[in-house]
Amino acid sequence: MKILLVHNRYLYHGGEDSVFEAEADLLRKKGHDVSTYVRHNEELSGVSSLRKALIAVWNHSAYRDLRRTIREIRPDLVHFHNVHFLISPAAYHAAKAEGVPVVQTLHNYRLLCPTGPLFRNDSICEKCLGRFFPWPSVLHSCYYRGSFFAGNVRNLILVTHRLIKTWEKQVDLFIALTDFVKQKHLEGGLAADRIVVKPNFVFDPNKDVVASSAPPNGRKGALFVGRLDRAKGIHFLLRTWKGLKPEIPLTIAGEGPLADQVMAAVAGRDHINWLGQQRPDSVIQLMRKAAFLVFPCTWYEPFGRVAVEAFALGTPVIAARTGGLESLVENNKTGLLFEPGNEQDMAEKVVWAHEHPQEMDRMGQECRQEYEKKYTPEMNYQMLMDIYRRACRIDPKSETGR
């Protein structure tokens, strides 16, 4: 197939960027003709606030540019990952104007919540879910990156494109990363027959390792990998760890706005080690050595790619029972689940894992099997092709055109 992948990069590299890059790489390795249309939000530097708002709602330049690109390469399908804020939802209209099927991956809750995460004041918030006009976000002064103006621009984007039915008429299929993400978007008004569940994947870090499903000897302690912010639960993790008895080794890899809190928690405590941001290969080595990964997020985590990386390495996951994590981690099989925000429950699960290494080794083997069953590139490729065929109305038996 000829495939055009469209992605708007954020100012800081994140999980959506990694998924976009991994899927492009996978499709090329499978022999498809893959083109990309990529813009970066740093292009908005120096642009006035009013101009940014107009671009975010409808970027005429990106619309024309994308139509020209589609005419030049004539793809069978356009797969969108992100259009905010530079490309804008005008891009869907550009693809449909050229008669090309459109697929959109739902990496977050941006179609449901003006600020994106269904998260406000350090807790889950669904007040705008299912409302045509998200007035609670105005009532509660929901900010986007600390800006009330930017938050209301998000409201303008949602209302404008709901009015002209962009997501209803311009997108053929949506990809939800978990059943939970699909359910939330159904509650938000998307049609069930236009949402397909397909998880993300990770390339096998154990591809060249013999007997990779067996956890290595000497696994020790807990590992946290992620952005140091309240949505990821780093503050909750630090509070829980402060009261743990016995003192269990904890390694933290990541950067973020709560770095000062992490630094303070590490001071004078030999059993907590903060490494800062780490390269992907370094994270893999940390996962190989850890007895388990901790995933204490307090928001509706859509997927949890870090958890799948841990699965691939035979590392069990102790996670909050929230969002897509409950779809990923099976309690007492691939890890342990605790109630979100419940320090005692998390502490009990962590101490139990520390004191039962054999049971955790067994879970580690289950993790590897779960990875091989659901999250390998090959499994993901087959699911992605089924989605593309469906969007293009291709009969998989005949492989004929639309």
Helix (H, G, I), strand (E, B) or coil at 384: helix
**Minimum mean pLDDT range among 92-96, 153-157, 331-335:** 153-157
Could you tell me the domains of the chain?
2-107+165-201+377-392 (3.40.50.2000), 222-374 (3.40.50.2000)
Is 153 a residue whose pLDDT tops 90? Answer: no
- Count of CB atoms situated within 10 Å of the CB of 386: 14
| pLDDT confidence bin for 397, thresholds 50/70/90 | low
**pLDDT on residue 143:** 66
Question: Which DSSP state fits 147?
Answer: B
Tell me how far apart the terminal alpha carbons of the chain are, to the nearest angstrom. 12
| pLDDT confidence bin for 233, thresholds 50/70/90 | very high
d(CA 55, CA 159): 15
Q: What is the pTM of this model?
A: 0.91
Are 109 and 302 in contact by the 8 Å Cβ rule? The answer is yes
| pLDDT confidence bin for 144, thresholds 50/70/90 | low
**pLDDT on residue 15:** 84
Identify the bridge partners of residue 223 per DSSP, sorted by sequence position: 251, 293
Q: Percentage of the chain surpassing pLDDT 90?
A: 82
Q: Distances from the Cα of 47 to the Cαs of 8, 39, 54, 58, 160, in angstroms?
A: 17, 15, 11, 15, 22
Is 148 a residue whose pLDDT tops 80? Answer: no
- Give me the chain's average pLDDT, please: 92
